Amino acid sequence: MKTPTGIDCQYFYGDYFRGRSLEECRLLKAAGQPWSPDLCKTCPVPGITRANACPNLTLHASVGRPFSAVFQRRVQISAWCEKNKRAVAEPHIGCGECHPLPPIFDVKK
């Protein structure tokens, strides 16, 4: 479903049937975090799901301020690989074990 910023996100839910105006982020709701529409503007989740479609990747979200109270609130993501049971450093790329590169990309010396 499209977020208030116009980007498709699988975790965003909007119910507009017969005048309702319920909007929520189900990823943040599962984590017990508050959601507001301005968080969708800088959220990294749609980019991660477009770049990495691994079914073993589990995303965990939290809302925080990156450096100090001066900056606006942002969604911060941590990722976990269910297959390898370890944290994923770069969610856009994945763990590197689930989907190895084909042999054609190996560098030969």
Answer whether residue 10 is part of any domain. no
Answer whether residue 52 is part of any domain. yes
Answer whether residue 102 is part of any domain. no
Q: Are 96 and 86 in contact (CB under 8 A)?
A: no
Answer whether residue 37 is part of any domain. yes
Answer whether residue 87 is part of any domain. yes
| Residue 27 per-residue DSSP state | H
Residue-range definition of the domain harbouring residue 38: 27-94
The strand pair at 74-81 and 57-64 is best described as antiparallel
Answer whether residue 90 is part of any domain. yes
Q: Are 53 and 46 in contact (CB under 8 A)?
A: no
Q: Are 43 and 8 in contact (CB under 8 A)?
A: no
Question: Which tens digits make up the pLDDT trace of 18-33?
Answer: 888 889 999 999 999 9
Looking at the 3D structure of the chain, how many domains does it have? 1
Answer whether residue 15 is part of any domain. no
Question: Which tens digits make up the pLDDT trace of 27-54?
Answer: 999 999 999 999 999 999 999 999 998 9
